[in-house]
Amino acid sequence: MSQDIIIEDNYRLPPPEKVGREPGSFTSVIQGLVFTVDHKKLGLMYIASGLLFFVIAGSLATLMRIQLMVPDNTFLPPDVYNRAFTMHGTTMVFLVGMPIIFGFANYLVPLMIGARDMAFPRMYAFGFWVFFFSGLLLYFSYLGAPGIYGAGSAPDVGWFAYSPLTSKAFSRGHSTDYWTMSLLLGGIGSVSTSINILVTIFCCRCKGMTLGKMPLFVWLNLVMVFLVILALPCLSACQIMLSLDRYLGGTFFDTQAGGSAVLWQHFFWIFGHPEVYVLIMPAFAIASEVIPVFSRKPIFGYPVMVAASISIAFLSLGVWAHHMLTIGMSALGNTFFVISTLLVAIPTGIKIFNWLGTMYGGKLRMELPMLFCIMFLFQFLVAGLTGVMLAIAPFNWQLSDSYFVVAHFHYILIGGLLFTIFAGIYYWYPKAFGRMLDKRLGMAHLVFFTIGFHVTFLPQHFLGFLGMPRRIYTYQADRGWDLWNFVSTVGVVFQAIGILFLVANLIYSYVRGKKAGNDPWDAWTLEWATTSPPQDYNFAELPEVKSRRPLWDAKHPNDPDWKHE
């Protein structure tokens, strides 16, 4: 967190004469964090808390990989392992993925559309703090009664918590309630933040910026928040229904009282599948900014990119039951969801081709953001193709709930989302802190993390082919799974070293990094038109744009974009 931003903010809000603290003291820093409504500071707080939870959930994953490194291992007892994978999954989706993408959106959207702030600054602070406390609540389950003397009462039902495993009969105590309440709270935070972003994009754009002239980053985040607003209330609804079941005698999902176990799956995945696209849209958003700038060309086929994103979002609302191809639906039902799922591949393919088209004929500057995006393209291609495989229902009957699925969605969420988040960090860190991230540390991060990622997750595809189901805390020595599990665990070491380089880089460059200036990458969107870091008010004078690349127009007055668009 940048200290000088905090101090400035302290003067702004609340008035200094009422605070009565020395600027720069510990209490004033805390006060600055708690009272701030600045979209940039809250954006960084979102990203920082996301990274904090990332380290926690990554450590849980490391424990799980140690347990699975050799057969018949006794490193973790079964209940500890089951809590670990539940917390890992829940954390990575709701406390890492969501806050980091919201952080990027909130920091950058107002800057990119030439606005001074979000539409509802205080609602934004509300959204952040609700999310943050939902995370604390989830982790409090490790301590909360009867946690301490019961050695942890964290949830152990898996991140999609299939009923009736969550009913009172099979989930005693309060572990499931921590999970339910935490997600309910987090859902309120996510929806309020999404509404805020939506209104900001629709109402706060600067003069000249029609919807068709918004940067693709803004477009994709617009699609993302629409999906959040449509999908997350389904999750909240089924959390409420589950709580009714557990405490007020409801029987929606309680099979012993005639409820339906399948109903939960439908409700959950009606949220859960759009959620995947909620997480991948921001990855597309970052790639769509970074790739053009470092290729020195505008995005290829802007209108098609927008249309493809909207159709992906639309289709994603109708594919949920491809998570449920093994529940015994009719052949017709299965076929419907096979078709809808395969249709998603078409706009997704178009996007990949358009990024390649953007790079074609350019002069590719191999800076770190670009390198991470190139790796993203490759890994997202793999993830997309394994997704097509999973959509083929008969193949799915073999692969569903196996390690192949684990490999597939880690290729999406790490190879796709996390790599672009890294690209975004290297790309916008100079804007947020006024200093460049160190290149050598960055290269070490890239190399170690990429190697570690592939060594960990590529073998998990093979484990799925060999019949290893997910979520097992142990396996026997003679099933043919030893080698690939061992290799997979070795990869974790490289990933961890990569992350250490990133953390070291973030700290080192904050102090020692080269001064960035306003526009270190020679880029074209409005955030580069202001100071690094931007002032509280973002722009001294509100900009006016004529094209999608206002800074290109300014830098090339003889050949501006608006003549061609």
Partner 1 sequence: MTMTKGARKNFGWILIAGFLATVMGSAYAQDGGEMRRVSDIFQPLSRQSEMILEPTMLVLLTSLGVFLVVTFMLVYVVWKFRRRGPEDDVVEPPQIYGSNNIELAWTVIPCLIVFVLVLVTARSIVEIQNAEMPPDALEIRLVGHQWWWEVHYPQLGIVTANEIHVPVSTRTGERRPTRIYLESADVIHSFWVPQLAGKTDLIPNRTNRTWIEPFETGTFFGNCAEYCGTQHANMLIRVIVQEPEDFQRWVENQQQPPPVPQSALALQGRADFESITCINCHAIDGTTAVGVFGPDLSKLMTRQTIAAGVAPLTPETLRAWLVDPQVMKPGANMPDMKLTDQQLDSIVAYLETLK
Q: Which of 133, 349, 458, 508 binds partner 1 (CB under 8 A)?
A: 349
Q: By CB under 8 A, is residue 473 in contact with partner 1?
A: yes
Q: Is 350 helix (H, G, I), strand (E, B) or coil?
A: helix
Q: By CB under 8 A, is residue 20 in contact with partner 1?
A: no
Q: By CB under 8 A, is residue 62 in contact with partner 1?
A: no
What's the number of CA atoms in the CB half-sphere (13 Å) around residue 424? 25
In whole angstroms, the minimum distance from the beta carbon of 347 to partner 1 comes to: 9
Footprint on residues 71-110 left by partner 1 (CB under 8 A): 77-79, 82
Of 195 and 262, which CB lies nearer to partner 1 in the complex structure? 262
Of 363 and 512, which CB lies nearer to partner 1 in the complex structure? 363
Q: By CB under 8 A, is residue 563 in contact with partner 1?
A: no
CB 78 within 8 A of CB 471: no
Q: Which of 151, 483, 503, 542 binds partner 1 (CB under 8 A)?
A: 483
Residues 346 and 304: their CA atoms lie apart, in Å, by 12
Of 254 and 275, which CB lies nearer to partner 1 in the complex structure? 254
In whole angstroms, the minimum distance from the beta carbon of 116 to partner 1 comes to: 31
Single out the segment in contact with partner 1 by CB under 8 A; choices: 43-51, 202-210, 221-229, 467-475: 467-475
Footprint on residues 536-555 left by partner 1 (CB under 8 A): none
Q: Which helix H or strand E contains 504, and what residues bound it?
A: helix 482-512
Of 198 and 350, which CB lies nearer to partner 1 in the complex structure? 350
Size of the site for partner 1 (CB under 8 A): 99
Single out the segment in contact with partner 1 by CB under 8 A; choices: 25-33, 211-219, 325-333, 511-519: 325-333
Of 16 and 467, which CB lies nearer to partner 1 in the complex structure? 467
Q: Which of 451, 466, 487, 497 binds partner 1 (CB under 8 A)?
A: 466
Q: By CB under 8 A, is residue 141 in contact with partner 1?
A: no
Q: By CB under 8 A, is residue 331 in contact with partner 1?
A: yes
Q: Is 473 helix (H, G, I), strand (E, B) or coil?
A: coil
Closest CA to 432 of 56, 32, 42: 42
Q: Helices 175-203 and 216-247 meet at what angle, rounded to 10?
A: 150
- Token duo for residue 414: 């790490």
Q: Phi/psi class of residue 361: alpha, beta or left (left: φ > 0; alpha: ψ in -120 to 50)?
A: left
Name, in order, each residue with C-beta under 8 angstroms of 267's C-beta and a sequence gap of 6 or more: 234, 237, 238, 241
Q: By CB under 8 A, is residue 374 in contact with partner 1?
A: yes
Q: Which of 7, 52, 230, 352 binds partner 1 (CB under 8 A)?
A: 352
Footprint on residues 164-193 left by partner 1 (CB under 8 A): 164-165, 169-170
Q: By CB under 8 A, is residue 557 in contact with partner 1?
A: no
What's the number of CA atoms in the CB half-sphere (13 Å) around residue 467? 5
Footprint on residues 378-417 left by partner 1 (CB under 8 A): 378, 381-382, 385-386, 388-389, 392-402
Torsion of CA 288, 291, 295, 300, to 10 degrees: -30
Residues 73 and 86: their CA atoms lie apart, in Å, by 20
Of 158 and 208, which CB lies nearer to partner 1 in the complex structure? 158
- Token duo for residue 225: 């928040």
Closest CA to 291 of 431, 134, 419: 419
Q: By CB under 8 A, is residue 291 in contact with partner 1?
A: no
Taken in order 191, 270, 245, 132, the sign of the CA dihedral is: negative
